[in-house]
């Protein structure tokens, strides 16, 4: 038995269902999924682990559907006479069998009486502690009423989904095949992720197929045979229509398919092909579309065509389709040998599409042009440009499949630029510098300005990843100078240049430049790049609503023909903008989409930036397992670039801050205080970390360090006019002033921060200021004032779902000992055996916190914590922290 791949969750669910029968009684569960998805393998592994559990298993067949209790007899043998006519009696017999697990495979063919017997058993014998499993598929073609009966009988349904690409890689490895991620994704798409198809192809296909990135995948023998059988059942006109759709590549318009099939009466052929399951019909924008049910069926139909028939069909298709890319694809399909003329036309069209920034289409065209070219015609150069375009499109995994081939080529400036580009987006700074510097040494700008400009543009991206604003602007200007204004490279450089200007301390100037750029009305993917940059800059300038609008528009790539790389940047900053506005569920959804895209495309550079938001939200909500998972994922692998290191540091800092571990906060953020982090890192709008660091310094009693740090960063945000940055640093200044005993100055600082935040959609920042303000007031003995401010903080945190700080606010309010009576006037709590401070200290200590942690949490000194702890011990005759933890509920309840 092979190991079970990709079904850890489903296997755990089955085991949990069986465990729950001990407490909940008999349970009926339904497993559903398409044929071959892996239901049988899952059940086999599940049952194999039940070594001491009585198990029965049966399989329904279509010709016994009408036989009463036919499947139940497979499970129990001959039924008692009274059970053969009554499902309730049959259910009694099943309950008396002492079987713990009963499984029915292919349950869509099950007889109704057996289903009713299962239901009766579960309802009338709950203490039988049986798990009754139906496994079937929704696409079986069986009587729909049976599917409905099984679904109605089941207490729970477990849908078995197709395998993802990661599981495809593991499954291939089990069959001795090593798959690169893009090839695994290709195989997943080709098979629909159906385990049965995957296993069949892995065993039937020659090994060399998997190492060739451009090789088309065949159908399985079973799909080939099934397709041939269906084709044989069709009329000649229906077969011609199916072949036409397969050659065109679905979904194809009905008009194109009919023209290629040369049919006079297409509707009967369409109806017949649809009835046999060879074609599906949809409508898009009012036009009828036809497609085969999947890539493997399409491959089976194409494979059934002879060479002459196939080339002739492609040649005619090239005269029918109107899209120039599709037209050239069909010309390729009609070509069996290298064709320099066709290669030139592919290259020319690639130039047109690259001018619009449509890098994915450009890449495909150039790779195909390379394969049709001769060496003298520039075959290698076209390959390099194609791989470069894949990187530009953000499909890093696909580009990486050509790495060995590219590395084997003669060393040229273009080769170095391509490999350097790939190194950047994979997060490998040292390799990128080595590749790009070598390429720059080799190139002669006067002779080859386009390649020189391309190298400069790669340095632009490298500078962005290093958060080097000055370097970004310098290389951007050089790229424009070499490529010429209006060129594709110039447009890309200008789209990023503003971020370098803003990162160098001139955000207003940067925004003015973007307004000028936007007035030129860039189209397609170029608009995506400009929109992403404007959205990022708007976020840094506190224009959160505008940022969300721009970034949401920069996420899609389908209609823009845009870059998935830019989409990832947009998703990362969109999540930050949604977090800032308090839309945390939306932020997590954006994170999820971004991480899926990054995993599919192999884009490592921006992954820590995406995980930062997830870590912070989960920590604030108290979802510690999820927070740790995001934290580990964001910190995984080498972080060569600043754009990777900074969010990893921030994620760890926010996690530690949520734990009230301020020493951990300082350790997490210490790298950002070093020389490499000077420049963009100090721009509060881009990286809001300075207040977190200053706040931790104060809470660690490092007042002189906090003073020096705040002086530096306050001057920067004042010079920039960055409002939220001033507000954040203002509350840290208020902390420091209060800690030094100057409450009046602290009040002014806190109040000023709240005033600055009044008109900004930043609820989390307002909650932070109020929380710090309330703590400072309580420490100064202003308990009535502290109560009102802390209540405001609690309400803001509660609206956000920040349960970690809601609980912290509750402890602060208890410690203050002030409540609002029915008159609305704040009143002192009546005297109790424990004072409010003692209750707050006792609560934390009983939960395992050290005196230092309690002090940080309640904004007290460790000596004060020890004083309160000693008084608790004296009042209740307690001798140790362990005894306090054991008796705390009694102590608290007996006050």
pLDDT exceeds 60 at position 467: yes
Closest Cα to residue 650, out of 675, 676, 681? 681
Residue 407 tokens, joined:
């590395």
Q: In what order do the strands lie in the sheet with 156-159?
A: 55-59, 101-105, 131-136, 27-32, 156-159
Distance CA 731, CA 244 (A): 69
Q: How many CA atoms lie within 13 A of 393 on its CB side?
A: 28
pLDDT value of position 820: 46
Closest Cα to residue 353, out of 388, 325, 385? 325
CB-based contacts of 65: which residues, under 8 Å, 6+ apart?
A: 109, 110, 111, 142, 143, 146
Closest Cα to residue 833, out of 821, 842, 845? 842
Higher-pLDDT residue of 824, 859: 859
pLDDT value of position 141: 67
Structure-token match 């398409």, residue found: 34
Structure-token match 């200021």, residue found: 769
pLDDT value of position 607: 94
Collapsing DSSP states into helix, strand and coil, what is residue 573?
Answer: helix
pLDDT exceeds 90 at position 601: no
Distance CA 56, CA 703 (A): 72
Name the pairing type of β-strands 27-32 and 131-136. Answer: parallel
Q: Where are the alpha helices (DSSP H) in 175-251?
A: 181-191, 195-204, 221-232, 236-248
Residue 251: cis peptide before it, omega within 30 degrees of 0: yes
Distance CA 283, CA 139 (A): 22
pLDDT-based confidence at residue 894 (cuts at 50, 70, 90): low
Q: What percent of the chain has pLDDT over 70?
A: 96
pLDDT-based confidence at residue 239 (cuts at 50, 70, 90): very high
Check residue 679 and report its DSSP letter.
Answer: T
pLDDT value of position 428: 93
pLDDT exceeds 70 at position 292: yes
pLDDT value of position 470: 92
Closest Cα to residue 705, out of 715, 693, 717, 720? 693
pLDDT-based confidence at residue 260 (cuts at 50, 70, 90): very high
Distance CA 448, CA 417 (A): 13
For 75-79, 408-412, 628-632, which range has the lowest pLDDT when averaged over its residues?
Answer: 75-79
H helix or E strand, kind and range, residue 760 = none
Summarize the confidence of residues 815-833 as an average pLDDT: 49
Distance CA 562, CA 490 (A): 17
What is the residue-wise DSSP string for 24-42? H--EEEEEE--TTSSHHHH
CB-based contacts of 159: which residues, under 8 Å, 6+ apart?
A: 32, 33
What is the residue-wise DSSP string for 101-128? EEEEESGGG--HHHHHHHHHHHHH-GGG
Cβ-contact 31, 135 below 8 angstroms: yes
pLDDT value of position 11: 92
> How far apart are the two ends of the chain, measured CA to CA in Å?
63
Summarize the confidence of residues 79-108 as an average pLDDT: 85
pLDDT value of position 142: 67
701: left (phi over 0), alpha (psi -120 to 50) or beta: left
Q: How many CA atoms lie within 13 A of 286 on its CB side?
A: 0
pLDDT value of position 818: 63
pLDDT digits over 109-145, tens only? 999 999 998 998 888 887 888 899 999 987 766 677 8
Distance CA 728, CA 137 (A): 56
pLDDT value of position 833: 63
Distance CA 20, CA 14 (A): 10
Distance CA 890, CA 872 (A): 13
Q: Exposed e or buried b for every residue in 764-798, given b needs 16+ CB within 10 A?
A: bbbbbbbbbbbbbbbbbebbebbbebbbbbbebbe
Sequence length of the chain is 895
Cβ-contact 458, 420 below 8 angstroms: yes
Entry pTM:
0.76
Closest Cα to residue 661, out of 648, 672, 650, 652? 652
139: left (phi over 0), alpha (psi -120 to 50) or beta: alpha
Name the pairing type of β-strands 101-105 and 131-136. Answer: parallel
> What values do phi and psi take at 262, rounded to 5?
55, 55
CB-based contacts of 108: which residues, under 8 Å, 6+ apart?
A: 60, 136, 137, 138, 140, 142, 146, 147, 150
Cβ-contact 769, 729 below 8 angstroms: no
pLDDT exceeds 90 at position 90: no
pLDDT-based confidence at residue 827 (cuts at 50, 70, 90): very low
Distance CA 809, CA 829 (A): 17
Closest Cα to residue 678, out of 405, 417, 466? 466
Q: What are the start-end ranges of the E strands in 756-840?
A: 818-820, 826-828
Summarize the confidence of residues 353-362 as an average pLDDT: 84
Check residue 394 and report its DSSP letter.
Answer: T
Instruction: Please say whether the dihedral angle defined by the alpha carbons of residues 316, 320, 324 and 325, taken in this order, is positive or negative.
Output: negative
Higher-pLDDT residue of 627, 529: 627
Summarize the confidence of residues 674-690 as an average pLDDT: 82
Cβ-contact 371, 214 below 8 angstroms: yes
pLDDT digits over 138-191, tens only? 776 667 788 888 888 888 999 999 998 889 999 999 999 988 877 888 899 999
> What values do phi and psi take at 369, rounded to 5?
-60, -40
For 282-296, 560-574, 710-724, which range has the lowest pLDDT when averaged over its residues?
Answer: 560-574
Distance CA 409, CA 404 (A): 9
pLDDT-based confidence at residue 447 (cuts at 50, 70, 90): very high
pLDDT exceeds 70 at position 824: no
Residue 29 tokens, joined:
């569960």
Cβ-contact 757, 727 below 8 angstroms: yes
pLDDT exceeds 90 at position 242: yes
* Average pLDDT for the chain: 89
Summarize the confidence of residues 291-320 as an average pLDDT: 94
Higher-pLDDT residue of 208, 830: 208
Instruction: Please say whether the dihedral angle defined by the alpha carbons of residues 431, 436, 439 and 441, taken in this order, is positive or negative.
Output: negative
User: 717: how many CB neighbours lie within 10 A of its CB?
Assistant: 23
pLDDT value of position 561: 56
pLDDT-based confidence at residue 504 (cuts at 50, 70, 90): confident
pLDDT value of position 140: 64
CB-based contacts of 447: which residues, under 8 Å, 6+ apart?
A: none
Residue ranges of domains in the chain, CATH in brackets: 8-161 (3.40.50.300), 166-187+191-211 (no CATH), 219-336 (1.10.10), 411-521 (1.25.40.10), 638-807 (1.25.40.10), 836-893 (1.10.10.10)
Cβ-contact 125, 91 below 8 angstroms: yes
Closest Cα to residue 805, out of 839, 767, 775, 778? 767
pLDDT-based confidence at residue 84 (cuts at 50, 70, 90): confident
pLDDT-based confidence at residue 668 (cuts at 50, 70, 90): very high
For 320-334, 543-557, 867-881, which range has the lowest pLDDT when averaged over its residues?
Answer: 867-881
Name the pairing type of β-strands 826-828 and 818-820. Answer: antiparallel
């Amino acid at each position: 038995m092979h190991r079970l791949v990709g079904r850890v969750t489903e296997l755990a669910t089955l085991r949990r269902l069986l465990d729950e029968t001990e407490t909940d009684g008999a349970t009926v569960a339904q497993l559903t999924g398409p044929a071959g998805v892996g239901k049988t393998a899952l059940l086999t592994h599940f049952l194999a682990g039940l070594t001491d559990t009585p198990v029965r298993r049966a399989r329904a067949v279509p010709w016994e559907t009408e036989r009463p209790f036919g499947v139940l007899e497979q499970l129990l043998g001959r039924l008692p006479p009274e059970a053969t006519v009554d499902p309730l009696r049959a259910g009694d017999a099943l309950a008396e069998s002492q079987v713990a697990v009963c499984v029915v495979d292919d349950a869509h063919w099950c007889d109704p009486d057996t289903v009713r017997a299962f239901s009766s058993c579960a309802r009338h014998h709950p203490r039988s502690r049986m798990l009754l499993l139906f496994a079937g598929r929704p696409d079986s073609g069986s009587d729909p009423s049976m599917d409905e009966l099984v679904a109605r009988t089941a207490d729970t349904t477990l849908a078995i989904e197709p395998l993802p690409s990661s599981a495809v890689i593991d499954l291939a490895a089990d069959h001795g095949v090593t798959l690169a991620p893009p090839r695994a994704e290709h195989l997943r798409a080709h098979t629909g992720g159906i385990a049965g198809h995957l296993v069949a192809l892995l065993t039937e296909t020659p090994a060399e197929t998997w190492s060739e990135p451009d090789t088309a995948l065949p159908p399985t023998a079973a799909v080939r045979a099934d397709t041939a059988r269906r084709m044989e059942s069709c009329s000649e006109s229906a077969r011609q229509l199916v072949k036409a759709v397969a050659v065109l590549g679905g979904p194809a318009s009905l008009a194109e398919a009919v023209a290629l099939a040369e049919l006079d009466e297409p509707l009967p052929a369409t109806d017949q092909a649809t009835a046999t399951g060879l074609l599906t019909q949809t409508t898009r924008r009012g036009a009828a579309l036809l497609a085969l049910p999947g890539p493997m069926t399409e491959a089976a139909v194409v494979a059934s065509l002879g060479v002459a028939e196939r080339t002739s069909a492609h040649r005619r298709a090239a005269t029918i389709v109107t899209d120039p890319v599709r037209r050239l694809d069909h010309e390729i399909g009609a070509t069996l040998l290298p064709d320099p003329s066709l290669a030139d036309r592919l290259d020319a069209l690639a130039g047109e599409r690259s001018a619009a920034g449509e890098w994915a289409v450009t890449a495909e065209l150039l790779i195909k042009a390379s394969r049709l070219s001769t060496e003298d015609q520039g075959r290698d150069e076209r390959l390099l440009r194609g791989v470069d375009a894949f990187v530009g499109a953000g499909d890093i995994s696909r580009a990486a499949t050509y790495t060995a081939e590219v590395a084997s080529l003669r060393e040229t400036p273009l080769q170095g630029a391509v490999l350097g580009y790939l190194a950047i987006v994979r997060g490998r700074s040292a390799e990128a510098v080595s590749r790009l510097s070598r390429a720059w040494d080799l190139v002669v700008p006067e002779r080859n300005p386009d390649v020189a400009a391309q190298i400069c543009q790669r340095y632009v991206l490298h500078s962005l990843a290093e958060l080097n604003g000055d370097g970004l602007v310098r290389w951007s200007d050089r790229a424009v100078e070499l490529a010429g204004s209006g060129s594709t490279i110039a447009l890309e450089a200008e789209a990023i240049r503003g971020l370098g200007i803003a990162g160098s301390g001139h955000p207003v100037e940067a925004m003015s430049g973007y307004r000028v750029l936007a007035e030129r009305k860039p189209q397609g993917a170029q608009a995506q790049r400009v929109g992403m940059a404007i959205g990022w800059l708007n976020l840094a300038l506190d224009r959160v609503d505008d940022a969300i609008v721009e970034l949401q528009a920069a996420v899609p790539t389908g209609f823009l023909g845009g870059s998935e790389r830019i989409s990832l940047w947009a998703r990362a900053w969109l999540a930050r903008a949604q977090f800032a506005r308090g839309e945390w569920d939306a932020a997590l959804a954006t994170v999820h989409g971004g991480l899926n895209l990054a995993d599919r495309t192999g884009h490592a550079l921006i992954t820590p930036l995406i995980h930062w938001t997830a870590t912070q939200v989960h920590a604030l909500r108290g979802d510690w397992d999820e927070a740790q998972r995001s934290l580990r994922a964001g910190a995984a692998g080498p972080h060569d670039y600043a754009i990777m290191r900074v969010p990893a540091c921030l994620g760890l800092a926010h996690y530690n801050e949520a734990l009230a571990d301020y020493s951990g906060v300082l350790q997490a953020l210490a790298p950002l205080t070093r020389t490499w982090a000077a420049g963009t890192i100090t721009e509060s709008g881009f990286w809001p970390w300075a207040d977190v660091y200053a706040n931790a310094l104060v809470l660690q009693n490092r007042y002189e360090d906090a003073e020096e740090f705040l002086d530096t960063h306050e001057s920067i945000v004042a010079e920039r006019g960055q409002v939220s940055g001033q507000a954040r640093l203002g509350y840290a200044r208020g902390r420091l002033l209060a800690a030094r005993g100057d409450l009046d100055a602290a009040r002014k600082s806190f109040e000023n921060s709240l005033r600055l935040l009044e008109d900004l959609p930043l609820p989390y920042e307002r909650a932070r200021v109020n929380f710090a303000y309330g703590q400072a007031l309580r420490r100064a003995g202003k308990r009535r004032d502290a109560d009102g401010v802390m209540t405001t903080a609690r309400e803001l945190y509660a609206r956000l779902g920040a349960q970690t700080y809601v609980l912290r606010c509750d402890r602060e309010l208890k410690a203050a000992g002030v409540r609002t009576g029915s008159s609305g006037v704040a009143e002192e709590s009546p005297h109790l055996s424990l004072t409010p401070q003692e209750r707050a200290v006792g609560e934390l200590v009983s939960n395992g916190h050290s005196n230092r942690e309690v002090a940080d949490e309640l904004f007290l000194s460790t000596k004060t914590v020890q004083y309160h702890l000693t008084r608790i011990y004296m009042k209740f005759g307690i001798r140790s922290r362990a005894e306090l933890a054991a008796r705390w509920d009694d102590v608290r309840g007996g006050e």
